């Protein structure tokens, strides 16, 4: 039966007008068992297409098929540039399907800077003027992918015109085209957008409005301040969306227009950041979104997550933070990994405002950290990275290094290594720990660490703690030496670590007297031998320098140095090295033995690396010599830059002089720069004079070079006034730099208040706590080890939660007590402010009933006739309303009744849509089960579709199924017959191809 169904499916699939070749190609590709086989098929296809595509008089439909095959070729990873021109030609076609296929292929093949685009501009211009709105849409879609900065002016006027098109589909795409232009070159469309923003941004059609939000999001993230006055209208739109005031078709699984909601929430987050007034107006609607979103499905959770992001970005509100925290807890406790992932992310946002919130979820976080799921683990590490303090840095960095050891991908390794280093540098509790940590990082990711880090580490060892505590410093150094001698046993070490090791051993290897010079030298000789790598020359250089230092310390101390045979061999090898650097170092070492102890001690003093060597750049010790030479008639010194200018000038001249005597191939002499006439022929002058003259020459030369003197300007083409149509953008076209970096965390000023409020929020969660505790009681198997980890990570809670777990250090306890004191203090200071905030809160939060038309009826009566005018008027109002009466705009807003406007418009505009619409196969309105997964909804779908598939196979004509499905049964039967002619047969190896995706 299953097989029969497959046969039916396959036979029904053949497309109208497709040739046998095409069907076979697709079939062959579909059945290809390996990448290699697919490769072979595509290569054959390319050869075939190359021949066929250039044949004269290919029928248009056939050509379309060739182009789709070209798309296949590129999609499967091969170059199809031989056929690009055919795709370009296809865009000229009158048939809409062919035209759109042409546009599609062109957008897939070409990037916006491709030469062939010029050939399409004309077609696009023509199509934008078309009477058929589908043609306009096709052209606008192409505009969104093909137009670059230079071609924008060619289509901009028409796109702007289409913003007023009667079809909402066209308006939507025109808005998106503007969006694209704005992305490419904000300057070119800035005035258009500012002029039109009021009108188009608030189109009555939901899909056009949704497109407008894309543009607005970009505008607002570039500059939130100029759009703050619009906050209320977005709040109002969001409110209406949440209240199901958009038509059902915009719902997705019962969630009203979720993508519009998400966009609005993102916009509100930008507008509310650091703006208390704007944030105040959002609190109500954010609460509504949280309340209305169904926590049972993905889409509801997506909305909730977005809400949390917004709540944590805007000026904080304790009640909302409380519910955001509750939702985050729910995410973290969920079984679904996706929700856990979102929960970890949300947690990271919440702890920015309330750091104590993390403690409640320490075990959940640790579960995620230990999860085998790589994505989750990495996200958790990111969270830990954000919450690192000096009290938990040791545990967190240790975890990161453990994770780093498991990684193979260098990209992530670099990433995590740099984070480890950053944390270690910022929070290191002791130098000792820092050095140990760095050693580990170098050991496991040494080649990926920037060399600067190694140099910083060396400096740290050399300079010690920076205090005048020589004992501690030398202890640090000896421990470093010990640890490096241990590490050297490892078989494979990255060269950067080896360099550090050599340097440290050279400087401090013999310092504390535990190791003899001979021993250190022996180990240093081994280093270069045992670790051949890419950077072997560098390592050898470090090694030989280290040996030199060890020897010189011995000599300076008056001891006699006997070089062991390995070392002698090493020196001999290096003195014959290809690298001159190594040679020099080897010879220097050998030369050292000839000097006595005082000289050597001066050349290489012990622990001299940290001492600054002062260099007097004016080199006063040479003064006497210079004076005597000048008096003997030597030339004075000319600084390098002046000298260079003079020589270039001279050489230019020499060139022109020489060239006049040789064969010349260019027909006309180059116009002489006027400057040439001014310069004397320096080459013929005697040496002494030439300097003087060339100095003069530079004086003449430089100004003319710097600024446009009239003479030089005259010889140049004037390009300023000429508009450049095509070609590369010229350098003086200053592309306005829009800093997209949105400031998200500018809540700093009111931080004290935030924390106070947030802790109030925490108290609010208390009712939930018993449940959580009982949860924990239920799971006594939480290992002590885990709890210990939790304790060391989250510090403060240990004393409360589990007194049996030893807190991991005195310093940590101290930190936590400090914090408590801190909060207590803050509470005191903040209290009056807060009480004031509390007092004013009822007034602010009293939910203005946005849909209550009663009150303001009189005020709006005059303007409510024309919906569009109403909107415009409204925005003008909101712009000018002084902020002292914040509730006024809010109560004003219900007048934008998006939906009623939409309904009337839809009635006129898309009667066609509703008549064509096939009945919903996907039961969007099915009651959502508690299990919440869409699977249940889909089950319904699958069963119905199964019922339809049966009759299809048997060839019964069932009227009901014919209506229900997109392609009618009749046409599929037709296809059936066609495919049978073509000979597509069911295939064994890949039944997958026929599996319905939604099963």
Q: Tell me the C-alpha distance between 136 and 129, whole Å.
A: 7
Which of residues 125, 188, 197, 338 is near another protein by CB under 8 A? 338
Contacts 24+ apart (CB under 8 A), 112-119: 112/145, 112/146, 112/147, 112/148, 112/184, 113/148, 116/84, 116/85, 116/88, 117/146, 117/148, 117/151, 118/726, 119/88
Q: What's the CA angle centered on 708, arms 706 and 712, to 5 degrees?
A: 110
Which of residues 63, 86, 100, 520 is near another protein by CB under 8 A? 100
Which of residues 910, 929, 936, 958 is near another protein by CB under 8 A? 910
For the record, the structure tokens of 722 come out as 């000429």
Nearest approach, Cβ of 483 to another protein (angstroms)?
34
Q: Taking CB under 8 A as the rule, which mask of x and - marks residues 370-409 in contact with another protein?
A: --xxxxx-x-------------------------------
Q: Tell me the C-alpha distance between 145 and 110, whole Å.
A: 9
Query: What part of residues 20-39 is at the interface with another protein (CB under 8 A)?
Result: 23, 26, 29-30, 32-35, 38
Nearest approach, Cβ of 796 to another protein (angstroms)?
29
Q: In the complex with another protein, which residue's Cβ is closer, 409 or 612?
A: 409
Give Dmax over CA atoms of the chain in angstroms.
116
> CA distances (Å), 906 to each of 166, 205, 259, 901, in order?
11, 8, 21, 9
Q: In the complex with another protein, which residue's Cβ is closer, 30 or 605?
A: 30
Q: In the complex with another protein, which residue's Cβ is closer, 599 or 922?
A: 922
Which of residues 48, 108, 472, 805 is near another protein by CB under 8 A? 108
Q: Tell me the C-alpha distance between 127 and 116, whole Å.
A: 18
Q: Could you tell me if 671 and 727 are in contact, meaning their C-beta atoms sit under 8 angstroms apart? A: no
Q: Write the DSSP string, 513-541.
A: SSS-HHHHHHHHHHHHHH---TTHHHHHH
SS3 595: coil
252 membership: H or E segment, kind and range: strand 251-252
Q: Tell me the C-alpha distance between 329 and 347, whole Å.
A: 8
Q: Could you tell me if 933 and 886 are in contact, meaning their C-beta atoms sit under 8 angstroms apart? A: no
Note whether 13 binds another protein by CB under 8 A. yes
Q: In the complex with another protein, which residue's Cβ is closer, 138 or 351?
A: 138
252 forms beta bridges with: 255
Q: Tell me the C-alpha distance between 284 and 849, whole Å.
A: 10
Q: In the complex with another protein, which residue's Cβ is closer, 302 or 396?
A: 302
Which of residues 7, 116, 134, 837 is near another protein by CB under 8 A? 134
255 forms beta bridges with: 252
Q: Could you tell me if 439 and 487 are in contact, meaning their C-beta atoms sit under 8 angstroms apart? A: yes
Note whether 510 binds another protein by CB under 8 A. no
Nearest approach, Cβ of 911 to another protein (angstroms)?
11
Q: Could you tell me if 414 and 445 are in contact, meaning their C-beta atoms sit under 8 angstroms apart? A: yes
Note whether 728 binds another protein by CB under 8 A. no
Q: Could you tell me if 264 and 237 are in contact, meaning their C-beta atoms sit under 8 angstroms apart? A: yes
CB under 8 A: which stretch of 69-77, 518-526, 574-582, 658-666 binds another protein?
69-77
Q: Could you tell me if 581 and 572 are in contact, meaning their C-beta atoms sit under 8 angstroms apart? A: no
Nearest approach, Cβ of 966 to another protein (angstroms)?
5
Q: Quickly tell me which residue has 């809400």 as its tokens.
A: 307
Which of residues 45, 306, 322, 756 is near another protein by CB under 8 A? 306
For the record, the structure tokens of 290 come out as 């949280």
Q: In the complex with another protein, which residue's Cβ is closer, 337 or 627?
A: 337
Note whether 82 binds another protein by CB under 8 A. no
**Within a 13 Å sphere around the CA of 464, how many CA atoms are in the beta-carbon half?**
17
Note whether 74 binds another protein by CB under 8 A. yes
CA neighbor of 789 nearest in space, from 366, 433, 373, 389: 366
Q: In the complex with another protein, which residue's Cβ is closer, 82 or 519?
A: 82
251 forms beta bridges with: 256
Q: Tell me the C-alpha distance between 278 and 270, whole Å.
A: 10
Note whether 898 binds another protein by CB under 8 A. no
Note whether 417 binds another protein by CB under 8 A. no
Q: In the complex with another protein, which residue's Cβ is closer, 84 or 442?
A: 84
Which of residues 58, 76, 154, 765 is near another protein by CB under 8 A? 76
Which of residues 49, 106, 220, 262 is near another protein by CB under 8 A? 262
Nearest approach, Cβ of 309 to another protein (angstroms)?
8
Q: Taking CB under 8 A as the rule, which mask of x and - marks residues 974-993 in contact with another protein?
A: ------------------xx
Note whether 18 binds another protein by CB under 8 A. yes
Which of residues 693, 815, 922, 953 is near another protein by CB under 8 A? 922
For the record, the structure tokens of 359 come out as 């403690």
Q: In the complex with another protein, which residue's Cβ is closer, 161 or 374?
A: 374
Query: What part of residues 518-547 is at the interface with another protein (CB under 8 A)?
Result: none
Which of residues 68, 154, 387, 487 is near another protein by CB under 8 A? 68
Note whether 131 binds another protein by CB under 8 A. no
CB under 8 A: which stretch of 250-258, 437-445, 628-636, 880-888 binds another protein?
250-258
Q: Write the DSSP string, 582-593.
A: HHHHHHHHHHHT
CB under 8 A: which stretch of 137-145, 278-286, 539-547, 718-726 binds another protein?
137-145
Note whether 95 binds another protein by CB under 8 A. yes
Note whether 673 binds another protein by CB under 8 A. no
Query: What part of residues 433-492 is at the interface with another protein (CB under 8 A)?
Result: none
Which of residues 183, 823, 863, 891 is near another protein by CB under 8 A? 183
Q: Quickly tell me which residue has 């910083």 as its tokens.
A: 456
255 membership: H or E segment, kind and range: strand 255-256
Which of residues 51, 411, 661, 718 is near another protein by CB under 8 A? 411
Q: In the complex with another protein, which residue's Cβ is closer, 340 or 976?
A: 340
Nearest approach, Cβ of 698 to another protein (angstroms)?
47
């Amino acid at each position: 039966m299953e097989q029969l169904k497959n046969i039916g499916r396959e036979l029904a699939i053949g497309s109208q007008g497709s040739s046998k070749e095409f069907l076979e190609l697709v079939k062959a590709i579909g059945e290809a068992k390996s990448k290699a086989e697919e490769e072979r098929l595509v290569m054959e296809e390319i050869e075939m297409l190359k021949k066929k595509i250039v044949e004269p008089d290919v029928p248009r439909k056939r050509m379309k098929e060739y182009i789709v095959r070209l798309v296949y070729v590129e999609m499967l990873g091969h170059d199809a540039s031989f056929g690009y021109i055919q795709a370009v030609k296809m865009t000229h076609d009158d048939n809409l399907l062919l035209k759109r296929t042409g546009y599609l292929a062109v957008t897939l093949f070409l990037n916006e800077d491709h030469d062939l685009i010029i050939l399409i501009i004309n077609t696009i211009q023509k199509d934008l003027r078309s009477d058929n709105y589908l043609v306009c849409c096709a052209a606008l879609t192409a505009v969104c992918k093909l137009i670059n900065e230079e071609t924008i002016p060619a289509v901009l006027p028409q796109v702007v015109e289409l913003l007023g098109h009667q079809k909402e589909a066209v308006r939507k795409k025109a808005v998106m085209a503007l969006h694209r232009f704005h992305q490419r070159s904000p300057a070119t469309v800035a005035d258009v957008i500012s002029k039109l923003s009021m009108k188009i941004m608030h189109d009555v059609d939901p899909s056009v409005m949704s497109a407008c939000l894309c543009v607005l999001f970009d505008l607002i993230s570039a500059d939130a301040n100029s759009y703050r006055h619009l906050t209320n209208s977005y709040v109002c739109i969001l409110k209406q969306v949440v209240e199901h005031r958009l038509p059902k078709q915009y719902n997705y699984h019962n969630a009203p227009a979720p993508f519009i909601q998400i966009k609005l929430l993102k916009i509100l987050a930008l507008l509310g950041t650091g703006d208390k007034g704007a944030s105040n107006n959002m609190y109500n609607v954010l609460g509504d979104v949280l309340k209305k979103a169904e926590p049972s499905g993905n889409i509801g959770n997506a909305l909730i997550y977005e809400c949390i992001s917004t709540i944590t970005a805007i000026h904080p509100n304790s009640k909302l933070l409380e519910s955001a925290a509750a939702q985050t807890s729910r995410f973290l406790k969920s079984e679904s990994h996706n929700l856990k992932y979102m929960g970890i992310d949300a947690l990271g946002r919440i702890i920015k405002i309330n750091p104590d919130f993390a403690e409640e979820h320490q075990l959940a976080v640790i579960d995620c950290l230990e999860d085998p799921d790589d994505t989750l683990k990495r996200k958790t590490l990111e969270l830990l990275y954000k919450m690192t303090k000096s009290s938990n840095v040791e545990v967190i960095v240790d975890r990161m290094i453990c994770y780093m050891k498991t990684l193979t991908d260098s990209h992530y390794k670099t990433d995590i290594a740099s984070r480890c280093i950053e944390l270690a540098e910022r929070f290191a509790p002791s130098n000792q720990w820092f050095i140990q940590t760095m050693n580990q990082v170098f050991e496991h990711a040494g080649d990926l660490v920037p060399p600067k880090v190694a140099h910083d580490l060396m400096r740290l060892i050399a300079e010690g703690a920076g205090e005048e505590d020589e004992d501690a410093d030398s202890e640090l150094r000896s421990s470093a030496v010990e640890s490096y001698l241990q590490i050297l046993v490892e078989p494979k070490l990255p060269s950067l670590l080896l360099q550090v090791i050599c340097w440290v051993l050279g400087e401090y290897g013999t310092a504390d007297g535990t190791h003899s010079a001979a021993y250190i030298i022996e180990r240093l000789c081994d280093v270069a031998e045992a670790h051949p790598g890419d950077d072997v020359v560098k390592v050898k250089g470090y090694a030989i320098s280290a040996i030199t230092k060890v020897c010189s310390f011995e000599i300076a101390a008056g001891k006699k140095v006997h070089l062991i045979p390995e070392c002698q061999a090493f020196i001999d090898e290096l003195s014959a090295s290809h690298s001159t650097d190594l040679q020099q170092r080897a010879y220097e070492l050998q030369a050292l033995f000839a000097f006595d102890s005082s000289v050597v001690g001066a050349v290489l003093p012990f622990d001299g690396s940290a001492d600054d060597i002062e260099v007097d750049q004016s080199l006063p010790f040479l003064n006497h010599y210079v004076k005597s030479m000048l008096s003997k008639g030597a030339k004075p010194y000319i600084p390098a830059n002046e000298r260079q200018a003079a020589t270039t000038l001279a050489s230019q001249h020499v060139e022109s002089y020489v060239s006049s005597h040789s064969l010349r191939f260019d027909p006309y002499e180059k116009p002489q720069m006027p400057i040439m006439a001014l310069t004397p022929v320096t080459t013929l002058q005697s040496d002494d004079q030439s300097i003087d003259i060339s100095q003069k020459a530079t004086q003449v030369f430089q100004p003319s070079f710097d600024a446009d003197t009239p003479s030089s300007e005259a010889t140049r083409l004037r390009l300023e006034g000429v508009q450049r149509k095509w070609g590369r953008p010229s350098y003086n076209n200053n592309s306005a730099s829009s800093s997209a970096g949105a400031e998200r965390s500018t809540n700093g000023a009111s931080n004290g208040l935030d924390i106070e409020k947030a802790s109030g929020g925490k108290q609010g969660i208390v009712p939930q706590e018993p449940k959580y505790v009982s949860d924990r009681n239920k799971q006594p198997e939480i290992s002590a080890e885990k709890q210990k980890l939790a304790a060391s990570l989250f510090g403060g809670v240990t004393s409360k939660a589990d007194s049996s777990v030893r807190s991991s250090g005195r310093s940590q306890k101290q930190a936590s007590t400090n914090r408590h004191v801190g909060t207590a203090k803050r509470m005191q200071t903040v209290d009056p402010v807060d009480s004031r905030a509390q007092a004013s809160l009822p007034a602010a939060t009293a939910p203005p009933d946005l849909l209550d038309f009663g009150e303001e009826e009189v005020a709006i009566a005059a303007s409510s006739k024309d919906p569009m005018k109403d909107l415009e008027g409204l925005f003008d109002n909101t712009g000018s309303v002084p902020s002292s009466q914040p509730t006024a705009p809010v109560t004003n807003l219900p007048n934008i009744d998006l939906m009623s406007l939409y309904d009337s418009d839809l009635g006129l505009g898309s009667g066609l849509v509703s008549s064509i619409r096939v009945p919903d196969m996907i039961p969007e309105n099915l009651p959502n089960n508690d299990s919440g997964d869409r699977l249940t909804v889909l089950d319904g779908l699958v069963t119905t579709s199964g019922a339809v598939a049966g009759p299809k196979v048997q060839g019964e004509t069932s009227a009901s199924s014919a209506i229900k499905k997109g392609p009618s049964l009749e046409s599929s039967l037709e296809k059936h017959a066609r495919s049978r002619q073509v000979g597509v047969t069911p295939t064994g190896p890949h039944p997958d191809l026929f599996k319905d995706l939604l099963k």
